Amino acid sequence: MFSKPSPANVLPRAIAAAVPEARWRPGLAEQPFHSEVFAPASEASGAGLALALARDALAQVGAQTPGEDARHVLWVQDRAAIRLGGRPCLAGLPPDWRRRLLHVAAATPEDALFALEEGLKCRDLACVIGEIAGNPRAFSFTASRRLSLTAERHGVRLWLVRLDATPDLSSARMRWQVRAAPSLHPRWNAAAPGTASWHAELFRARTHAPDEWMICDDSGTLRIRRDPDTDVAATPDIIRLARPTVGRSLAARAHA
């Protein structure tokens, strides 16, 4: 995908060869504070993977603390990103995130970086998701280093989606390259598009060996997809019409 390997690309591979490290998988306890997801702007796979990774990380962190996480999530977009990929749609978000989303529409990449940094400094935010289009001059290595340091100092995690960007120098702890992959076949209508799945390549990570996966977001949980032909969605359908609710008839509960 890249014509010449950048130093940022080669170095972690060398380290990984020297020291055998754990392979990445969903549901790891240690989650990075600053990740970048490179994605084409003509699809929402970048935002989708960032969202899935963020939910995965928050689920692992939230498993240690009791109670439901009601903290807000800051979603920062610059104007070019909004023009290319649109704004987040409330009805398409996971249900528990619909009341928690705060959106920042920044005019310029500089403003977006400012908003990202202010969001990372805020102790009341669960995480920050950013979308920046292209390789703006303001988003230099220094700027990404600032974001990394702020995120690690204040303990707020950042997933930055880079739309139509070339992977230049960055201090992000994990860097992904993602593109859409043919979705899983839904059980009831094979002709319909199914659960979101992506072809994700982890090409630079401090603690994991680089690799490629087919990842799918199966009813809110991130998992690695196996053989595309035999793998079907784990849930009967994306829409669960029969839910285990209290107070309904025994038949419905037994069915659920």
Partner 1 sequence: MLLADARALCPDLVAVPADPAGDLAALEKLAVWAQRWGPWSALDPPDGVLVDVTGVAHLFGGEEALLADVAQAFARRGLATRAALAPTAGAAWALAHFGPPGAILHPFRAGEEHMLRHLGDLPVAALRLDDDVLTVLRRLGIKRLGELAGVSGADDPAREAAARDALRRRFRNHRSPAANPLLRLDQLLGKVPEPLLPVIARPMPMVQRRLMEPLRHRDLLDRVVEDLAHDMVRALEARGEGARRLELALWRVDGEALTRRIELAAATREASHITRLFAARLDDVEAGFGIEMVQLRASWSEPLALSQADLDAAAEDHGTALAACIDRLTVRLGPKAVTRPVARASHIPERAQTWQLPLAPVPSGQAAHTFNIRPLKLLERAEPIAVLYASPDGVPQRFRWRGEVREVTRVEGPERIAPEWWCERSTARLRDYYRIEDETGRRYWIFRQGLLGDGRGGVPDWFLHGLYA
d(CA 107, CA 253): 51
Q: Which is nearer to partner 1, 206 or 255 (CB)?
A: 255
What is the pattern of x (binds partner 1, CB under 8 A) and - over residues 165-204? --------------xxxxx-----x-xxx--xx-x-----
d(CA 110, CA 136): 9
Per the CB < 8 A criterion, the answer to whether 84 and 138 are in contact is no
177: β partners: 38, 201
d(CA 170, CA 142): 8
DSSP single-letter state for residue 192: S
Per the CB < 8 A criterion, the answer to whether 2 and 188 are in contact is no
Residue 248 near partner 1 by CB under 8 A: no
d(CA 164, CA 148): 22
Contact pick of 29, 239, 250, 254 for partner 1 (by CB under 8 A) = 239
Per the CB < 8 A criterion, the answer to whether 82 and 248 are in contact is no
Q: Which is nearer to partner 1, 93 or 209 (CB)?
A: 93
Q: How far is the CB of 199 from partner 1 (least distance, A)?
A: 8
Residue 42 near partner 1 by CB under 8 A: yes
Residue 1 near partner 1 by CB under 8 A: no
Binding site residues, partner 1, CB under 8 A: 42-45, 47-49, 51-52, 72, 82-83, 85-93, 98-99, 101-107, 111, 114-115, 118-119, 121-125, 154, 156, 179-183, 189, 191-193, 196-197, 199, 217, 238-239, 241
